[in-house]
Amino acid sequence: MPEDSSTIIGNIIDVQCGSLTAALIEDEQGRTPTITIGDEDIYIGQIGSYVSIQQGNVKILALVTRMTEQEKLAPVETGTGGIEAVRMSCAKRIVALVPLGTINSDGEFERGVSLFPTTGAEVHAIGSADINLIFTKFQSKGYDVGNLSSNTSIKVCLDPNSLFGRHFAILGQTGAGKSWTVANLVQRAVAIMPKAHIIILDLHGEYCWSDSNGSSCSAFSDNIVRYVDARKLEIPYWLMTYAELCDLLIDNTEREAHNQIAFF
């Protein structure tokens, strides 16, 4: 990652365990500051954008999560000092950063930060080539799940073995696209892992439904999906728990229900 003074956008003013705060270099108020890197125009301070924090051998990639302003007094001009000098107020732009990982000596991205910078460290704007270091590690897996929202030219690649080998959740408001995201993840997973076995419990008919002619439709190709209607699914009784058997066989509205449960 080149240390180019032309890409400096600010300096670190506060360091905490999981967050950093930087003050941006003063610019004309009311104007959106930009820096050109190669053929890219980088908008400084955009939420979701990436920056590099550099200090000696420390090189950290961080995500911009907040931008605010603080009022400060402009310095007194030379020759206008004294009690009667008027100091105009101006705004100082402040950005909150979340460190994502470090760039090692080989130019590879490593998650986590073991050595934090001190106050005064330089904050640099970065282009697509540097941001892509975060995702190049898993590009060989071939499992790209979409494009980066802040830079659509960069594909986001994940390790499917790690992703499906542990628990994860997809959260969002109604209509945000949770079902579409699940379908997208599964479609891309079976494309690169055709022998994978994936079970989807579709309680609302979002991934398999019937059209106006009564024909079954699915979000997946017919040659890879097998649809099982829960109403036709036979489950052996020994697979059910005690509580499930009581709910199935005993009517709780009956007067003797408690005796039946005790006997059962």
What per-residue confidence (pLDDT) applies to 73?
A: 64
pLDDT digits (tens, 9 = 90+) for 116-166: 999 999 999 998 888 888 888 888 888 888 888 878 888 888 888 888 888
- The predicted model gives 99-107 an average pLDDT of 89
Contacts of 69-74 with CB under 8 Å at 24 or more apart are 69/93, 69/94, 70/94
Whether the per-residue pLDDT at 78 is higher than 80: the answer is no
Q: Which of 58, 33, 31 is nearest to 46 (CA)?
A: 33
Q: Which of 137, 156, 138 is nearest to 147 (CA)?
A: 156
What per-residue confidence (pLDDT) applies to 60?
A: 93
pLDDT digits (tens, 9 = 90+) for 106-118: 888 888 898 899 9
Are residues 8 and 16 in contact, defined by beta-carbon separation less than 8 angstroms?
Answer: no
Mean pLDDT of the chain: 83
Band of pLDDT at residue 51, cut at 50, 70 and 90 = very high
Number of CB atoms found within 10 A of residue 184's CB: 14
Look at the chain and count its residues. Answer: 264
Which single residue is written with the structure tokens 């402009």?
Answer: 74
What per-residue confidence (pLDDT) applies to 89?
A: 61
Higher pLDDT, 264 or 61: 61
Higher pLDDT, 118 or 105: 118
Buried b (16+ CB within 10 A) or exposed e, 152-172: eebeebbebeeebeeeeeeee
Are residues 117 and 15 in contact, defined by beta-carbon separation less than 8 angstroms?
Answer: yes
What per-residue confidence (pLDDT) applies to 1?
A: 45
Tokens of 81: 């000092």
pLDDT digits (tens, 9 = 90+) for 217-238: 888 887 888 888 877 778 888 8
What per-residue confidence (pLDDT) applies to 2?
A: 47
DSSP designation for 250: -
Buried b (16+ CB within 10 A) or exposed e, 64-75: beeeeeeeeeee
Measured CA to CA, the distance from residue 166 to residue 32 in angstroms comes to 42
Quick check: pTM over 0.85? no
Domain ranges within the chain, ordered by starting residue: 5-134, 234-263
Half-sphere exposure of 96 (CA within 13 A, CB side): 10
What per-residue confidence (pLDDT) applies to 27?
A: 61
Beta-bridge mates of residue 90: 72
- The predicted model gives 201-211 an average pLDDT of 83
- The predicted model gives 234-261 an average pLDDT of 84
DSSP designation for 186: H
pLDDT digits (tens, 9 = 90+) for 4-16: 568 888 999 999 9
Instruction: Please give the C-alpha separations between residue 80 and each of 21, 26, 72, 83, 84, in angstroms, as whole numbers.
Output: 33, 22, 18, 9, 8
Strands (E), the chain: 8-15, 20-24, 34-37, 40-43, 50-55, 58-73, 89-103, 109-111, 122-125, 144-148, 151-157, 208-210, 216-218
Listed in sequence order, the residues at least 6 apart from 114 whose beta carbon sits closer than 8 Å to its beta carbon are: 102
Q: Considering only 49-58, 82-91, 197-206, which range has the smallest mean pLDDT?
A: 82-91
